[in-house]
Structure 1
Amino acid sequence: MLITGADLAAPALALLDDYEVVFAGKAPSPDDIVALCRRHDPVAIIVRYGKVGAAAMDAAPSLRVISKHGSGTDTIDKAAAAARGIQVVAAAGANAAAVAEHAMALLLACAKSVAVLNERMHAGHWDKATHKSMELEGRTVGLVGLGAIGLRVARMADAMGMRVLAFDPYAKDVPPFVQRVELDAIWRESDVISLHCPLTADNAGLLSAATLAACKPGVIVVNTARGGLIDEPALLAAIRSGQVAGAGLDSFAEEPMTPAHPFHGEPRITLSPHVAGVTADAYVKMGVGAARNALAVLHG
């Protein structure tokens, strides 16, 4: 079994005792993964980092399942897998608590200017007389995506006294405190927009110059989903114009973020390096979930 990472949680490895486990390292390239597939012909791949495409699948004729260490499967060529009879499974919900908490942390950091005030304080300033932050009670949060993560964020926002709007045509069992709306209402009515949907060909660049212009002036944007959902130059322009008051971002169009990225140095953009789902607890939950999902396919 191939793990496209440098490690796997011990409880997950214990489930795989009957298999030889090969690690690809902490940052495997697609070519690295192809080479390892050719060398070891795995029956299963657990995907932590890197992309698994058709070339890797063709290099592993025994491959039966590709299991994501987490919920997002956009780094796996699902069409190629389907064409080859390879199942793609994900540990959906395993990191939901971690990501939802991080989304709320980014929202609070933006609304309360946490990073900016911290930097100012360390530089010896005392901005009590001039600073005013945003109070979230009574404000409206618009959630795009109402899966396991979006639902947790909705519950947190409701507990804080926020009005909760959500767009998700596939959501079931929506709580009564969540108002389902179309996307145009999300843009028009939200004081905060938080993204919790997968990245697809249809929604790439969902937050664009046009949709950002349709938002309420001073909106806050939070993204703990996928970077490709946002047109980054359009967001930067909206930040600089004041149309967007702040952004809390954990994922980006290109990762890792390159030095001298346009977002660097923007005081109203709070950044984290795609670690929303990275906690000690989620590491175990995702590993065990990915291992169990792979074994479920292999054992029929």
Structure 2
Amino acid sequence: MSAEKPVFLVTAADLAPQALALLGDYTVVYAGKTPTEEDIVALCRAHDPVAIIVRYSKVGAAAMDAAPSLKVISKHGSGTDTIDKAAAAARDIEVVAAVGANAAAVAEQALALLLACAKSVVPLNQRMHAGHWDKATHKSIELEGRTIGLVGLGAIGLRFAKMADAMGMRVLGFDPYAKNLPAYVQPVDLATIWREADAISLHCPLTADNARLLNAQTLAACKKGVLIVNTARGGLIDETALLSSIQSGQVAAAGLDSFAVEPMTAPHPFHGEARITLSPHIGGVTADAYVKMGMAAAQNALAVLHR
């Protein structure tokens, strides 16, 4: 049964206290640490929320139909690919996102992965702990003077571009929607990025049009020895093609924070590949970003409800 107060459903086990403080006029219901899509549907049927804050799991048409009072679905972050936006639009449910709230966190993770790849941080650490001293045989990649190609120039991509420029990199960027770019970002098409970039970092949303953007064909079009970084969505990369390109040397190294299937299945073909640095989709997971995203998600939903 619905509570006396209208319900906010959070598809997670928690929300930042600062965000909760904004929702005093509502009952907040949590879906738990690892909710399934079926869990979300059941909770919608039980509580009929007016708003859903999406952290984990997918929210599709079935959940929307189970919540006739639903007015807004608010993403706790910037990527809305886990929300069926067409179904929401058909039901006059607004979809909003906390764009930019985690930009600093994700851009820093992208930079960390780029540096890990260029400087072989993880394999050298493992070698050192095993008692080796590879100074005479190892050569790292110097990023100053190299070209970085960015796919996606939203809040995260632009923040990362600023970091790359500060390191003396030439910055190429592709984003058909970006306007008023800073002078240090050179707008180009994808073919130019494949052809000229020494490193490529993905910062775009996942859509039906760009799924498996990096595949056997596009990776083959890249410079030999290119570095690949992905802190966006795993579906942007054909993982089988990337692994083959790593093994052939076409791609020198990759730093990945997102994957086609999450949580990553074990065993996974990437496991044990020293030239792939992995992190469990935590680019936006910092104490600061947790608060920023929670507050933005709550504020965005409230803005819709209070119109």
1:25 has 2:37 as partner: no
- Cα distance in 1 for partners of 2:185, 2:306 equals 40
Q: 1:164 is matched with which residue?
A: 171
Within the alignment, does 1:151 sit opposite 2:151 as a pair?
A: no
Match of 2:296 in 1: 289
Coordinate RMSD, CA, aligned: 0.3
Counterpart of 1:246 in structure 2 is 253
For residues 192-218 of structure 1, the C-alpha deviation after alignment (integer angstroms, 9 at most, x for no partner) is: 000000000000000000000000000
**Matching residue's letter, 1:110:** C
Classify the secondary structure of the residue corresponding to 1:21. Answer: strand
State the match for 1:201 in structure 2. Answer: 208
2:77 equivalent among 67, 70, 76:
70
List per-residue Cα deviations over 1:84-137 (Å, max 9, x = no partner). Answer: 000000000000000000000000000000000000011111111111000000
| Distance of 1:186 and 1:294 partners within structure 2 | 37
CA distance in 2, matches of 1:201, 1:278: 26
Structure 1 residue 112 and structure 2 residue 119: aligned?
yes
1:139 matched to which residue of 2?
146
User: Matched residues in 1 for 2:257 and 2:248: separation?
Assistant: 22
Aligned partner (choices 34, 40, 43) of residue 50 of structure 2 = 43
The total of aligned residue pairs comes to 300
Deviation at 1:56, TM superposition (A): 0.2
**TM-score if structure 2 supplies the norm length?**
0.97
In structure 1, the partner of 2:3 is: none
- Find the partner of 2:96 among 79, 89, 99: 89
Give the Cα–Cα distance (whole angstroms) in 1 for the partners of residues 152 and 201 of structure 2.
9
Counterpart residue type for residue 7 of structure 1: D
Cα drift, residue 172 of structure 1: 1.2
Distance 2:184 2:257 in 1: 27
- Give unmatched runs, 5+ long, in structure 2: 1-7
Moved over 2 A (4+): none
Shift of 1:179: 0.6
Which residue of 2 is the match for residue 228 of structure 1? Answer: 235
Partners of 1:132 and 1:79 in 2: how far apart? 50
Structure 1 runs not aligned, ≥5 long: none
Length-normalised TM-score, structure 1: 1.00
**Which residue type is aligned with residue 19 of structure 1?**
Y
Q: CA deviation at 1:191?
A: 0.2
Aligned to 1:174: 181
Code of the aligned partner of 2:43: L
Q: Does 1:52 align with 2:50?
A: no
